[in-house]
Amino acid sequence: MTERVGIVVRTRQRPEFLRRALADIRAQSFGDVRVVVVNDGGDVAEVEGVVVASGLDAAAVHHIAPGDGGRCIAANVGVRDAGTEYVVLHDDDDRWHPEFLARTVAWLDAHPADLAVAVPTEIIYEEQREGSWTEVGRAPFWAGMQRISLTEMLSVNRAVPISVLYRRSLHDDVGWYDETLDAVEDWDLYLRILRRGDIAFLPGEALAFWTQRPDATGLDANSMFALTEEHRVDDARVRDRALSEWVRREGAGMPLYMASLHAETIAHIDETVERAVRRLRAEIASDNRVEIDAHQPLWSRVRRIRRLLGRRSGRA
């Protein structure tokens, strides 16, 4: 019997993270899964040993030779192998609430028109302490979000792979992860999904946990920090590609007009800020009773400047 959910674990030379990810998967209350570990250029024996030690059933391992992989290639390899009704990417450093699969599967079962479903997500901050990565804080990712909106998604990605379960069949319609991209492959896919249908959202408690290690370097770093330039370049590539499609279909008139408005808005903001800075400097220079100590905390300096401007306004 074919398992219902394919879980694709992308990993690369991070055995401790991989152990944690597989333990996280074992802790799910929903167990009808096939786990596909995609070793993207790491040591073959090391990865095989971690998978065997995990005790997971229905687990497969794919090894990509060093230099032949990448985030998108690894995702496509794993999803194609899974062959399941539903699929989700569980990168080796992220985590789930034990009910993540049970609740998301139940939603898609009950709502056949939805192509995917996302859940509230928390960011978990980690620091290296005594040789291991330790949680040091949490923050909501897009606090208060109630739905996955195409309008908002056009501005910035509001979902991460660990938080989205989707129907494997949608790849037949919208295509696969774009292997020309080095980053933002999930955002690019979500945009294509939203052109065809809905990504549902389950409000309530966080069911997915996106770990971040801002101080990490090398293999331990998050892609959003280690691939900052790639994110910037690929974000522009996705936008330029969509704009090119629009121009070929509708002409360049509207984009040219919007670009002109954007330039005027930026120029107006720059001018307004520059005037405010000049006025602030003049106000401070004209009041010898007020000294702004550069060694004071920023919040203290701002408060003193506000008091000064308040007195000036009261005299006017």
Could you give the count of Cα atoms lying within 13 Å of 161 in the half-sphere of its Cβ? 26
Beta-carbon contacts of 23 under 8 Å, excluding residues fewer than 6 positions away, are 54
Which two three-digit tokens encode residue 58? 């229905």
Read off the amino acid at residue 307. R
Residue 316, pLDDT score:
47
Residue indicated by tokens 């400097």 = 281
How many angstroms separate the CA atoms of 193 and 87, rounded?
14
Which of 56-60, 113-117, 154-158 shows the lowest mean pLDDT across its residues?
56-60
Mean pLDDT of the chain: 89
Residue 220, pLDDT score:
74
pLDDT tens digit string along 6-16? 999 999 999 99
Range 303-307 contact pairs with CB under 8 angstroms and sequence separation of 24 or more:
305/280
How many angstroms separate the CA atoms of 176 and 272, rounded?
45
Q: Would you tell me the crossing angle of helices 185-194 and 228-250 to the nearest 10 degrees?
A: 30
pLDDT tens digit string along 81-96? 999 999 999 999 999 9
How many angstroms separate the CA atoms of 115 and 128, rounded?
38
Beta-carbon contacts of 248 under 8 Å, excluding residues fewer than 6 positions away, are none
Q: Check pLDDT > 80 for residue 281.
A: no
Q: Looking at domain 5-216, which of 2.40.37.10, 3.30.70.1230, 3.90.550.10, 3.30.360.10 is its CATH number?
A: 3.90.550.10
pLDDT tens digit string along 256-278? 999 999 899 999 888 888 888 78
Pairing of strands 199-201, 95-96: unpaired
Residue ranges covered by each domain of the chain = 5-216, 263-315
Tell me the mean pLDDT in the region 38-64: 92
Tell me the Cα Rg of the chain. Answer: 24
pTM of the model: 0.82
